[in-house]
Amino acid sequence: MDATLRSKLEHIRERYEELEEMLCAPEITGDKPRLLSLSREHADVRPVAEAFAQYVTAEQALAESVALLDDPDMRELAQADVDALREQLAASEHELQRQLMPRDPNDSRDVLLEIRAGTGGEEAALFAAELWRMYTRFAERHGWKVETLTASEAAAGGLKEIIGTVRGKDVYAKLKFESGVHRVQRVPATEAAGRIHTSAATVAIMPEAEELDVQISESDLRVDTMRSSGSGGQHVNTTDSKVRITHVPTGIVVESQQEKSQIKNREIAMTMLRTKMLDVQIQKQQAERAAARKSQVGSGDRSEKVRTYNFPQDRITDHRIGMTRHNILGFMAGDVDDVIDALRAHDEAERLAESQAGGKS
């Protein structure tokens, strides 16, 4: 282990021991805001401190085993221990480097999920609806809550557009690489000749913004109210509850109509607006970062073809990491963890390589 990494880990271990003492002090336990802050820091550094303690223990065991190599009666057994401990230390060092990588500050946020039908007409709309069901079922597997904010149905029963929230633990961390163009290849139900068509839908995953994240001036907004349309109860078409907000400087438009109250719909629309404005900032940062990398994972480029769903060949291919898997019906039923985990691991490996390269330069 190089001196820089060890120094960082020693500092974390010292801070962990300091926090252990502080959290037991009467002046801290009686100060709830400070206790909460220190408890969060303690939870953050604890895994690293404990992993480093295990690393140090393994180092000591390795030194003892190396010393036994000079003993003819113990050499064979000691050599086996040395080999095993060196492998353990290498794996532990890699894990410690991974744990020290900066965490995306948005990873713990809830998200705004937006799916739009692209090229392919009604078939694209049907695929958009299937993607929505896929993410809904994936969310159910993880105990997340999904809420539809607005939806526009197509004539054949699909979705031209749907926007909703997904709330739960580390939602953005798991879904952030799903943004982009999803392409489907299959024979549409309306295709009499049995020809394979290619259609597409666009997925956008945006970390939900809070008021402090984005400053919006009221003078930059144009707010329109109108009567709701579609299903939704007695208030539909009887009150001006639907709210559409346009952010004039950027041209971003959001609307909400699912609540009976115009005030609640305005609150929802403002959350959507802040989220979209934050997303613009994040996409710009990710694009700048991706420009210096070979891979486009996490680039934020919504026009990028990220995945193809080939039904005739029962194949799903993620083009960013060259991963292919089968059982497309299971995948569309929400069994997508393996692909999402592979995307996260790929991004993590690249960031770790960048971090190591930066530390050597």
Tens of pLDDT along 26-36? 998 888 888 88
On whether the 3-100 domain is CATH 1.10.3470, my answer is no
Give me the residue label for tokens 């295990």.
Answer: 54
| Residues in contact with 81: Cβ distance below 8 Å, sequence separation at least 6, in sequence order | 61, 65, 68
Give per-residue pLDDT as tens, 100-136. 877 777 888 899 999 999 988 899 999 999 999 999 9
DSSP state letter for 344: H
Query: In which residue ranges of the chain is CATH 1.20.58 found?
Result: 3-100
* Second CATH level (architecture) for the domain 108-361: 2-Layer Sandwich (3.30)
Pairing between strand 252-256 and 242-247? antiparallel
Which pLDDT value is given to residue 134?
97
Per DSSP, helices labelled H in 241-336 are 262-290, 328-332
CB 265 within 8 A of CB 232: no
Q: What is the pLDDT along the chain (361 residues), one digit of tens a residue?
A: 888 889 999 999 999 999 999 999 999 888 888 888 899 889 889 999 999 999 999 999 999 999 999 999 899 999 999 999 999 999 999 889 888 877 777 888 899 999 999 988 899 999 999 999 999 999 999 999 999 988 999 988 899 999 999 999 889 999 999 999 999 999 987 676 778 999 999 999 999 887 777 888 888 889 888 876 654 444 445 567 888 999 999 999 998 887 788 888 888 888 889 899 888 888 887 776 666 555 555 555 566 899 999 999 999 999 999 999 999 999 999 999 999 999 999 988 888 777 666 555 4
pTM of the model: 0.70
Q: Which region holds residue 227: left if phi is over 0, alpha if psi is between -120 and 50, else beta?
A: beta
pLDDT in tens, 208-240: 887 777 888 888 889 888 876 654 444 445 567
Domain with CATH 3.30.70.1660 in the chain: 108-361
34-53, pLDDT tens digit by residue?
A: 888 899 889 889 999 999 99
How many Cβ atoms sit within 10 Å of the Cβ of residue 193?
Answer: 5
